Amino acid sequence: MLKGRIQDLVIGVIALAIGIVMFIETKSFPDITKVYCRIVLIILIVVGAAMILTSLINARKPGPEEVHVKEWVNPLIIFAFVLVYVIMIDIIGFFVSSAIIMPVVMIFMGYKKPLPIILTTVGMLGFVYILFVTQLKLRMPQGLLF
């Protein structure tokens, strides 16, 4: 099996394992929340299984090239943003930290126009509020501000 296919196989196995473990963990969730989470996890399980099957079927065909270390810089910076975001959620709350981190990441990724950045941020936070707070009746993490 070629290196690129091994990477696909490993990612598929990890996605499948996470999906199965988290699906089992949802048994203690409230009914309305359980349905949504299980739908998302079923999609993750199907995608992981598809990656495994594709990598095994195409084991001898050339696959994607191996990722080199210098190509990891931007993903590592985004990972750092995510870590800061997780810390910010506990300190200042979900909605405030999301309203800060989303434009910062969009600007880092090269988006310069303020209107799409603002509309995307407001739209995503509005969608999350409607879906999780009003429909699923979940409490989002609150911090000092909101």
- Per-residue pLDDT for 15 more than 80? yes
Tens-digit pLDDT profile for residues 46-84: 999 999 999 888 877 765 666 666 777 888 899 999 999
Residue that wins the pLDDT comparison between 67 and 136: 136
Alpha-carbon span 90 to 92, nearest angstrom: 6
Contacts of 19 (CB under 8 A, 6+ apart): 41, 42, 44, 45, 48
Residue that wins the pLDDT comparison between 114 and 3: 114
Measured between alpha carbons, how far is residue 130 from residues 136, 141, 142 in Å? 9, 15, 17
Domain spans, the chain: 1-66, 70-146
Tens-digit pLDDT profile for residues 82-133: 999 999 998 999 999 999 999 999 999 999 999 999 999 999 999 999 998 8
